């Protein structure tokens, strides 16, 4: 069975998404998803169309991640919102510090693969509200 790690770097109004498989196989290069109902629906459709088991990981920074985590969970997808320090410290053995939304989404996906069996599923009860544009 294929393991699909979906790394999402969340920010206000949009997210950067990368999808990887073990051994560096790229399912999807980083791409942007707007936090609109159509953007989130498209992301859900894409993830569900990929063969195998998908696990979505995002950092729980601020409250920007909550609407996306809620919607993805509502669509019966495995979502894990993790402490940003875990992502920051993960794979920190490089002298070169690349910082971009694309690089962050790939790093989050790599973290998801490495932590696959320990990931805790996001609970809908954790989110008190959700919002996004209706466009």
Per residue in 91-111, pLDDT tens?
A: 766 545 667 889 999 999 999
- Asked if residue 51 belongs to a domain, the reply is yes
- Asked if residue 134 belongs to a domain, the reply is no
Tell me the pTM: 0.88
- Asked if residue 62 belongs to a domain, the reply is yes
Q: Is 81 helix (H, G, I), strand (E, B) or coil?
A: strand
Domain with 36, as residue range(s), is 3-126
Q: How far apart are CA 98 and CA 96, in angstroms?
A: 6
- Asked if residue 109 belongs to a domain, the reply is yes
- Asked if residue 122 belongs to a domain, the reply is yes
Classify strands 25-34 and 14-21 as parallel, antiparallel or unpaired.
antiparallel
Average pLDDT over residues 29-40: 96
Number of domains in the chain: 1
- Asked if residue 103 belongs to a domain, the reply is yes
Residue 4 near residue 52, CB atoms below 8 Å: yes
Residue 135 near residue 37, CB atoms below 8 Å: yes
CA distances from 89 to 36, 47, 83, 92, 99 (A): 31, 27, 10, 5, 14
- Asked if residue 9 belongs to a domain, the reply is yes
- Asked if residue 132 belongs to a domain, the reply is no
């Amino acid at each position: 069975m294929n393991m699909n790690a979906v790394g999402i770097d969340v920010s206000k109004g949009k997210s950067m998404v990368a999808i990887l498989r073990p051994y560096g196989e790229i399912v999807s290069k980083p791409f942007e998803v707007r936090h609109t109902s159509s953007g989130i629906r498209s992301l859900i459709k894409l993830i569900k169309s990929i063969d195998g088991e998908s696990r979505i990981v995002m950092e729980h920074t601020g409250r920007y991640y909550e609407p996306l985590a809620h919607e993805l969970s509502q669509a019966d997808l495995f979502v894990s919102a993790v402490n940003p320090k875990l992502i920051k410290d993960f794979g920190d053995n490089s002298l070169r510090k690349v910082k971009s939304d694309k690089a962050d989404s790939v790093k989050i996906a790599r973290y998801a693969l490495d932590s696959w069996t320990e990931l805790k599923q996001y609970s809908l009860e954790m989110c008190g509200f959700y919002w996004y544009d209706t466009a």
